[in-house]
Amino acid sequence: MTRFGKFPERGLGDLGAEAVLAALDDAGLDGSAVQVAYAGHARTGRLHGRENGVGQLVLWHAGIRELPITGVGNFCASGSSALREAVIAVLSGLYEVALAIGIEKLSTRAEKGRPLTSDGMELEGELGFTPPAFFALSAKRYMELTGATPETFALVAVKNRRHAAHNPYAQYRTPLTVREVLDAPMVADPLTRLSCCPTGDGAAAAVVVSEAAARRLGRARMVRVAATNLASGGYRPAELASFDIDVRAARGAYELAGIDPGDVDVAEVHDAFTATEVIHYEDLLLCKRGDGPRMVHDGETALGGRLPVSTSGGLLSKGHPLGATGVAQVHEIVTQLRGEAGPRQVEGARVGLAHAVGGFLDGDEASSAVHLFVRERPQP
Amino acid sequence: MELAGLFTVAAGAVRLRGTRCPACGAVAFPGRVVCGACGCRSLEPAELSGLGQVHAFTTVDTPPAGFDRPYLAAVVDLDEGPRVFAMLTAEPGDGRRVRAVPARVRHGRPGFAFEPIGPPQ
């Protein structure tokens, strides 16, 4: 992956190519080995005039041509969906080596300092509702149900910044205090500016190979995709403080993988807001209903705790270049499972989870992706 | 987004335009093609009263582009069943009853918001 940050001087093509070349070098493969590619991006049409063909542009920069390339759009889960398509392409038996790319450049958007509006919220956005307003209401309801406080949520931002200090790819790496998070300008009560993920630019890429190709390449540093799952909304949810779309995406992934949620050692979840990271603990079945706040206050989801979450620093510290996020989460989980995460390493991590969710339709989110990864061999 | 087809204004009152299912009575706003409750495909146009109940609300202190000052954002459950996400003109009263009224929305365009009213008669 590339670093995440604000890079107005970089273009979609060269930013994406940087990630692609890094992934190919990491895999020990030449570009000519790639047989199919999927590129996840969510807002390149509106911001850069390139609705389609982002994959083609990135691979042109990377010196790769003539491949079957498909652009993949699922809001904030675009990158995760691109990875999913690469996995499915290999599982289908049609291809042995697939490439998933995630990329976004938000630094050129005109509305600096203003909350990002969401695709899918055309009516709601017109009438004054945007993601921070929606998730502020989720946060309020979650506080009512569980006793979580604004401090509970602020602790998530503090935790994720602490993790980001050990991640050279993260955009914001300096420590935060609870006081700073609570005193930041209010966006939508109770979410302050530091409760919301920043925007940014970034790209990530992953090479997915078949069993046969894996054997030929040698399995050193390989990580297995144990499950890919994707869900769309059930619509008109009864509860503001829980997202059944995520519950279904997670439950399906655990079933496909034959993995128990209790086996997850490290997780990257969609912490677009501090409050939603806590809600995700419950919806992704990583803890019992209502236990999210305790996990935060007891430090269970911090490095050193029972189940470190957002070891990369999360969307809150990396920023959220929409299409890049899902694949960057994979980068973090793979790095963890390889034992190569250095000072942010989760000791003995064997099972990792990546979750991204986005979009909006009929009161519900529109696309939720959960992937599970398992270490192939014991760490050296 | 073009709001014009979604509501009408008459004598200062806003009516919302959706669909009603003749088979099960479910009402949708915005209107849809197939009933989400029973699968019926012959949905009829419906005019909604614009009356409803505030399910939840909060203040938006940092407005998105197109809005130039803080405002209240609410989830409103319409009497006919659909849920709408929109602005409130003021904090709701104890009964949390509201009605749709004409209002300037994003970029000052004509739309609707919800205004608190007294309890139902």
Q: A302-313, pLDDT tens digit by residue?
A: 999 999 999 999
Model pLDDT, residue A220: 80
Distance CA B117, CA B52 (A): 10
Shortest distance between the Cα of A365 and any Cα of chain B, in A, equals 14
Count of beta carbons in the 10 Å neighbourhood of residue A216: 10
Task: Supply the pLDDT for residue A221.
Answer: 86
Average pLDDT score over chain A: 95
Nearest to A188 among B36, B61, B84 (CB): B61
* Residue A378: pLDDT band with limits 50, 70, 90: low
Please tell me the distance from the alpha carbon of residue A221 to that of residue A377, in angstroms, as a whole number.
8
User: Is the model's pLDDT at B120 over the cut of 70?
Assistant: no
* Contact list, A235 vs chain B (CB under 8 Å): 36
Q: Please indicate, yes or no, whether the overall pTM of this predicted structure exceeds 0.90.
A: yes
For the stretch A182-240, pLDDT in tens is 999 999 999 999 999 999 999 999 999 999 999 998 878 899 999 999 999 999 888 99
Residues of chain A whose beta carbon is less than 8 angstroms from a beta carbon of chain B are 110-111, 113-117, 121-130, 132-134, 136-137, 140-141, 185-190, 193, 235-236, 240, 363
Is the backbone peptide bond immediately before B30 cis, with ω within 30 degrees of 0? yes
Q: Is the pLDDT of residue A37 over 90?
A: yes
Of the listed ranges A37-46, A218-227, A260-269, the one predicted with least confidence? A218-227
For residue B63, give how far its alpha carbon lies from the nearest alpha carbon of chain A (Å): 7
Task: Please check the confidence at residue A111 and state whether its pLDDT lies above 80.
Answer: no
Which of A123, A125, A140 is the closest to B56 by Cβ?
A: A140
- Assembly ipTM: 0.94
More confident residue, A235 or A109: A235
pLDDT band at residue A379 using 50, 70 and 90 as cut-offs: very low
β-strands A69-72, A36-40 pairing: parallel
* Location of structure tokens 């970089």: A10
- Name every residue in B having a CB less than 8 A away from some CB of A: 1, 3, 6, 30, 36, 55-65, 67, 71, 73, 75, 83-87, 105-106, 109, 111-113
Tell me which chain B residues have a C-beta less than 8 angstroms from the C-beta of A193. Answer: 62
Please report which helix (H) or strand (E) contains residue A20, including its range.
helix A12-27
Residues 6+ apart with CB under 8 A from A211: none
Domain ranges of chain B: 4-116
pLDDT band at A256 (very low <50, low <70, confident <90, very high): very high
Using CA coordinates, name the residue in chain A closest to B85: A124
Residues A106, A104: Cα–Cα separation, whole Å: 6
Token pair in block for residue A347: 């000791």
pLDDT-derived band at B57, boundaries 50, 70, 90: very high
Catalytic (active site) residue A320: yes
- What distance in Å separates the CA atoms of residue A209 and residue A222, rounded to the nearest whole number? 10
Amino acid at A295: M
Cis peptide before A190 (omega within 30 of 0): yes
| A89-113: average pLDDT | 93
Has residue A118 got a pLDDT over 80? Answer: no
Tokens of A300: 């269970």
Catalytic-role residue among A270, A320, A355, A371:
A320
Chain B CA closest to residue A364: B83
Domains identified in chain A and CATH numbers: 12-109+201-210 (3.40.47.10), 122-194+224-375 (3.40.47.10)
Q: Percent of chain A having pLDDT more than 90?
A: 92
**Calpha distance A202→A103 (Å, rounded):** 6
**Residue in A with minimal Cα distance to B67:** A128
Closest Cα to residue B25, out of B41, B8, B38? Answer: B38
Integer Cα distance of B72 and B106 in angstroms: 14
Active site residue A41: no
Q: Is the CB of residue B21 less than 8 Å from the CB of residue B32?
A: no
CA angle, residues B109, B111, B113, in degrees to nearest 5: 125
Distance of alpha carbon A216 from alpha carbon A271, whole angstroms: 38
Picking from A274, A300, A249, the residue whose alpha carbon sits closest to that of residue A135 is A274
Please name which of A151, A237, A261, A240 lies closest in space to residue A195, comparing C-alpha atoms: A151
| Cα angle A23, A28, A30; round to 5 | 80
